[in-house]
Amino acid sequence: MRKTVALLLTLVLALSLAACGGAGETENNDTVPGPQEDTEPPQDDGPAQSDGPSGEATEPVTPETLVEAPGSGPADASHITSVEGVPLITLNNGVQMPQFGLGTQIQSLENGDLGVLNETSREAVAAALRSGYRHLDDAHGYLQERGVGQGIRDSGVPREEIWITDKLWPSEYGDAYNAINGMLEQLGVEYLDLVYLHHPAGDIDTIVAAWKDMERAYREGKIRALGISNFDNRMDAFNAIMEQEIKPQIMQIECHPFAQRRETRELAEQYNIQVECWYPLGHGDQRLLNAQTLESIAAAHNKSVVQIIVRWHIQEGFSVIPGSTNPDHIQENIEIFDFELTDEEMELIRAMDQGESGRYFNINYDFMGGMFNGAPREWEGDFA
């Protein structure tokens, strides 16, 4: 019995890393035809109402109350522009973010070898930036920030032209400000464009304390935008964040044609928060990638099914971060800005929605929250 429980807990922890969001799923791009993903973040039991911890409705905020520009500081150097046709999304604080990017969560490919993990991340990031990507989705829980940072330097693209996302692991919430400084050191940068609370795990006071540390770094110009990942999984934590001085700019959730998360999207819209999708390719599910509807649309545009799915995300207004370690797939994933899906095609894809039953990651944070107590290891290698 103990062995069974231990196995289940290990599985949940592995899934929680893959659900990174971000961005957060890990998929081997060599196993599925066409471009692939390994994005990040986990989800909820499907709440789409803004109920407080005791069930009372949280008072909606107006867009005006959401807007607070980041403070002056290192982030003032940022110079984000549209490259390769990738649109820029204006967030509720006025900051602009590339709508499309690269998910970098790939531990499942590396069998726990952090040296190999960082080298793979380094090569994937450099390939992506050379292909025109300007948005990278990373997390401290991915264990490869040094590799991502070296990939940025290898690419030759100036740091100020790149949107860099990172995520705090729940075990770091008690000292989030110092954890943010650690992220900067490991990536080798002076500021981050976006920092997420990766999971709504732990007690509410600790989660709120982490958010206040993020607000401090935001006001100091170390962070340009703040986000919550997987908080649709736990509404008391969501509402606690909405009561803070600075509201989130971005909410990262599992979202793909099988799970289109309509109610959660309405919740984000209510608070003027941008939705970013992890598992955008449905965790590589062959039922999705071989769906006749998508194959027919792909044939009509002379594109791959994966390109059709990513294009659907773009036209729905999401930020989308498919991941890959294969340079050919990385290139193919960004080649979606030379065509548009018709209104009829968009409706056909919307009709594929299976609601909450179409999701791949659900977690009860009250029941499994203790799985997030362990701190991610720091890779000790040196790429210099």
28 vs 305: CA distance, rounded Å: 17
Q: Is residue 55 part of a domain?
A: no
218 vs 195: CA distance, rounded Å: 9
* Single-letter amino acid, residue 335: E
Q: Which residues are annotated as catalytic?
A: 142
Q: Is residue 52 scored above 70 in pLDDT?
A: no
What average pLDDT does range 123-130 have in this prediction? 98
What CATH number is attached to the domain comprising 302? 3.20.20.100
Confidence of residue 30 (pLDDT cuts 50, 70, 90): very low
The per-residue pLDDT for 108 is 72
Q: Is residue 43 part of a domain?
A: yes
Q: What CA–CA distances, in Å, run from 168 to 114, 174, 177, 288?
A: 19, 11, 10, 31
The per-residue pLDDT for 55 is 35
Q: Is residue 237 part of a domain?
A: yes
pLDDT digits (tens, 9 = 90+) for 276-293: 999 999 988 899 999 999
Q: Any idea which of 78-82, 140-144, 263-267 has the lowest mean pLDDT?
A: 140-144
Q: Is residue 256 part of a domain?
A: yes
* Single-letter amino acid, residue 114: L
Q: Is residue 145 part of a domain?
A: yes
Q: Is residue 40 scored above 90 in pLDDT?
A: no
> H or E element: which one contains 194?
strand 194-197
Specify the pTM.
0.85
Structural domain for 191, as ranges: 17-47+68-366
pLDDT digits (tens, 9 = 90+) for 96-114: 999 999 999 987 776 668 8
The per-residue pLDDT for 253 is 95
pLDDT digits (tens, 9 = 90+) for 234-278: 999 999 999 999 999 999 999 999 999 999 999 999 999 999 999
DSSP secondary structure, 312-377, as one string: HHHHTT-EE--B-S-HHHHHHHHTTSS----HHHHHHHHTT--GGGG-S----HHHHGGGG-SPPP
Q: Is residue 371 part of a domain?
A: no
What average pLDDT does range 183-199 have in this prediction? 97
| Long-range CB contacts for residues 297-303, cutoff 8 Å, separation at least 24 | 297/341, 297/345, 297/348, 297/349, 300/345, 301/339, 301/341, 303/336, 303/339
Q: Is residue 26 part of a domain?
A: yes
- Beta-strand pair 96-98/88-90: antiparallel
156 vs 128: CA distance, rounded Å: 12
Q: DSSP code of 279?
A: S
What are 281's two structure tokens?
């390719």
Q: Is residue 213 scored above 50 in pLDDT?
A: yes
Q: Is residue 46 scored above 70 in pLDDT?
A: no
What are 302's two structure tokens?
């002379």
SS3 128: helix
Backbone φ, ψ for residue 197 (5° rounding): -80, 115
Helices (H) and strands (E) in the chain, counts: 14, 10
Confidence of residue 382 (pLDDT cuts 50, 70, 90): very low
Confidence of residue 365 (pLDDT cuts 50, 70, 90): confident
**Count of domains observed in the chain:** 1
Contact call for residues 91 and 249 (beta carbons, < 8 A): yes
119 vs 151: CA distance, rounded Å: 9
Q: Is residue 378 part of a domain?
A: no
The per-residue pLDDT for 66 is 53
